[in-house]
Amino acid sequence: MMEQELRVINVGAPHFAEALRAQGAPVIQLNWRPPADGDPGLIALLEQVSGPEVDAANAQALAAIQTGHPVLVGVERAGDVVEGLTRTTILHSGPPNRWETMAGPQRGAVIGALMLEGLADTPEAAEALAASGEITFRANNDCGCVGPMAGVISYSSALFVVENRTHGNRAYSGLNEGYGKVLRMGAYAPEVLERLRWLNTDVADALRQAVGAMGGGLDLRSLIAQALHMGDECHNRNKASGALFLREMGPHLARLGLAPEALARMLDFMGHNEVWFVNLAMAASKAVLDAARGTPESTVVTCMSRNGYEFGIQIAGLPGRWFTGPAQPVKALYFPGFTAADAALDIGDSVITETAGIGGFAMAAAPAIVQFVGGTPDLAAELTRQMYEITLAESDHYSIPTFGFRGTPTGIDARRVVETGILPSINTGVAHRLPGIGQVGAGLVHPPANLFADALRALVAAGGRPSGG
Partner 1 sequence: MVVRVLVRPDSYFDSVSLMAVSQRLKELPEVADAVAIMGTEMNKRLLEGAGLLTAESAAAAPADLVIAVGAETESAAAEAIAEAGRLLQRRGGAATGAAGGASESAWSGAAAQGAQAPRTIRSAVKAEPGASLALISVPGLYAAREARMALARGLHVMLFSDNVPLEAEVALKQLAHEQGLLLMGPDCGTAILNGVGLGFANAVRRGSVGIVAASGTGAQELSTLIDRLGGGVSQLIGTGGRDLSPAVGGRMTLDGLRLLQADPATAVIVMISKPPAPAVAEAVRAAAQAGSKPVVLCFLNGGLSIDAAAVRAISLATGEAEAAAAARLAIAADDRPPFAPAPGRRLVRGLFAGGTLCDQALLVLERALGPVACNVHPDPDRRCGPTGSAGHTLLDLGDDELTQGRPHPMIDPTLRRQLLLEAADDPETAVILLDVVLGHGAHPDPAGALTGAIFEAVSRGVAVVASVTGTEADPQRRSAQVAALRQAGAVVLPTALQAASAVATGLAGLQGSAGREARLQGSAGSAGLQGSAGREARLQERREDA
Residue among 202, 205, 219, 389 that touches partner 1 (CB under 8 A): 389
* 120 makes contact with partner 1 (CB under 8 A): no
Give alpha helix (H) positions in 255-297.
260-272, 278-290
Residues 221-260 that bind partner 1 (CB under 8 A): none
Residue among 29, 166, 209, 222 that touches partner 1 (CB under 8 A): 29
How many C-beta atoms surround the C-beta of residue 98 within 10 A? Answer: 11
Count Cβ neighbours within 10 Å for each residue of 152-185 and write b for 16 or more, e otherwise. Answer: bbbbbbbbbbbbbbbbebbbbbbbbbbeebbbbb
Residues 143-182 that bind partner 1 (CB under 8 A): 180
Instruction: Report which secondary-structure segment, H or E, holds 380.
Output: helix 377-387
CB 149 within 8 A of CB 348: yes
* 380 makes contact with partner 1 (CB under 8 A): yes
Residue among 155, 276, 361, 372 that touches partner 1 (CB under 8 A): 372
Beta strands at 301-307 and 310-315: parallel, antiparallel or unpaired: antiparallel
In the complex, the smallest distance separating the C-beta of residue 416 from partner 1, rounded to whole angstroms, is 8
Instruction: Sketch the per residue contact string, 7 through 26, with partner 1: x for CB under 8 A, - otherwise.
Output: xxxxxxx-xxx-xxxxx-xx
d(Cα 137, Cα 402) in Å, to the nearest integer?
Answer: 44
Give the interface segment with partner 1, choosing from 105-113, 165-173, 199-207, 368-376 (CB under 8 A).
368-376
In the complex, the smallest distance separating the C-beta of residue 33 from partner 1, rounded to whole angstroms, is 7
* 370 makes contact with partner 1 (CB under 8 A): yes
Comparison of 180 and 251: residue with beta carbon closer to partner 1: 180
* 419 makes contact with partner 1 (CB under 8 A): yes
* 333 makes contact with partner 1 (CB under 8 A): yes
* 187 makes contact with partner 1 (CB under 8 A): no
Residue among 181, 265, 385, 457 that touches partner 1 (CB under 8 A): 385
CA atoms within a 13 Å half-sphere pointing along the CA-CB vector of 235: 32
* 44 makes contact with partner 1 (CB under 8 A): no
DSSP string, 166-177: TT--EEEEE---
Comparison of 21 and 77: residue with beta carbon closer to partner 1: 21
* 388 makes contact with partner 1 (CB under 8 A): yes
Beta strands at 347-348 and 301-307: parallel, antiparallel or unpaired: antiparallel
In the complex, the smallest distance separating the C-beta of residue 15 from partner 1, rounded to whole angstroms, is 7
> What's the distance, CA 336 to chain centroid?
26
DSSP string, 36-58: GGG-HHHHHHHHHT-SHHHHHHH
Instruction: Sketch the per residue contact string, 423 through 462, with partner 1: x for CB under 8 A, - otherwise.
Output: ------------------xx--------------------
- Residue 77: which residues within 8 A CB-CB, separation 6 or more? 155, 156, 157, 158, 159, 200, 204
Beta strands at 331-334 and 439-445: parallel, antiparallel or unpaired: antiparallel
Torsion of CA 74, 80, 84, 86, to 10 degrees: 130
Where on the chain is the footprint of partner 1 (CB under 8 A)?
A: 1-2, 4-13, 15-17, 19-23, 25-35, 38, 43, 47, 180, 333-337, 364, 367-372, 375-378, 380-382, 385, 388-389, 400, 402-404, 406, 416, 419-420, 422, 441-442
